[in-house]
A and B are shown apart, each in its own frame.
Chain A
Amino acid sequence: MKRYILMRLLYTVVVILGVSILVFVITHVIGNPVNTMLPLQATDAERAALKHQLGLDKPLMVQLSEFLGGMFRLDFGKSWWQQVPALGIVLHKIPATLQLVATALVIAVVVAIPLGIIAAYKPGTLLDRILTTTSLIGICLPPFWVGLMFVLFFAVKLGWFYTSGYGTIRHLILPALTLSVVPMGHLAQIVRFSMAEQLNAQYSITARAKGASDFAVLFAHALKNAATSIVTMGGMDLGRLLAGETAAVEVVFGWPGFGTLIVDTIGRQDFPLLQAEVFLVAVIICFINLAVDISYGYFDPRIRY
């Protein structure tokens, strides 16, 4: 187990390095931050001066090695736009997004898991068919559109929530609800189908034949075996949301989080800030995956590290 985690950490470092280098090279080859930062009428001399100031006139390899050197000290340089250390800006934006994503995931789990279990327990019923269809639709709807609909209905028409902003629970509910739709659909589907599979498995019939209650078969037997699929799906959704998929929803709701920051950063071609963001996303995703993998060992005794 220790050895496994050590290997995984090593692997994480390699992934983060790889992703960072890739993003660095691509942005430096195809990006043109100087044009974005200066007004259109700026002279060539002004452009050259800014390029020199940002260090963009050095050979790419030199820039890359300077960047990597900094990265190992967790120093990504100052944001070109805000003139403060890039990592600090990113870390500062994380809590708002974390709050949003955590709320969304909790909503998704609380709704999808019980419904998925009930649908699997009574397959082919009206409830099952409604659930499988709506969850499929939920997965396909674009979140920004769902967000706009929620705003129109719950905020504008009913006035229950604020249309945008950050701070109170009345700000939080609508964007969290919007973000919860896709993971809710994913989870409902995976719970429905993996639980149905487990309930039809021979061992579930054996358990019933012993006289076990439906409750015990569902929760003590089947759920533990379905858990690996459910946790995998949950981890993927969590990763996707934290990696900036919140952006559209954050913009719609004026939520000052990580997603909004990424959108701004890309628009401004603020390379140091972008690298800090990429770094953090990679770290988060690697750790979510590690946690998911470790949980497999708990749920499924056939998996040992």
Chain B
Amino acid sequence: MDDYKFLFKVVLIGEAGVGKTCLVRRFCQGVFPIGQAATIGVDFLIKNLEINGDKIKLQIWDTAGQERFRTITQSYYRSANAIIIVYDVSNQPSFDRLPEWLRELKQHINEKVVVILVGNKCDLTEGREIPYHIGESFAQRHNMKFIETSAKESANVEQIFQELSTTLLKQANQIFETNRKDTKTLKNDIQSNKIYNCC
């Protein structure tokens, strides 16, 4: 059995063709797949990371962006620890649909879920349609981290996962600590320290 301190579920969503599968393949397998076919259903990959000495395991769910396949995706939102919403910086419609994605998310997830906005294909300088600051301010308005990436040129891809893992780890460690403290105080209570005075 592999050992890890925490397991996190990460779900990638976003319009078809924005490069979700390419990002995941780049991150997990270090390749940029040529002629990547559209995802049908949900793909599943595992990646182990070590952050500040803590071993963590990422379960990555790469969903299909095509509208007709999306219903399956919904069932994965609830148990997700982090959501990556991807758009394509060279494709205005993929950015314009973001509010709809957020609305759908809101129906299924709670506040603790870490959401990060990713503008992919930033290598396409010529065809860029969404400037960096537009993406950034959208993310800020909706309380999301923001990052621009290129799966093709392997720019910032690691950072997405690094960023969200760090946040999740901080969260998890906090809960872990308070839980430990709770059990400690409970024990103290049972030993009824309070009813003994100090001599």
Q: Do A and B bind each other?
A: no
- Residues of B in contact with A (beta carbons under 8 Å apart): none
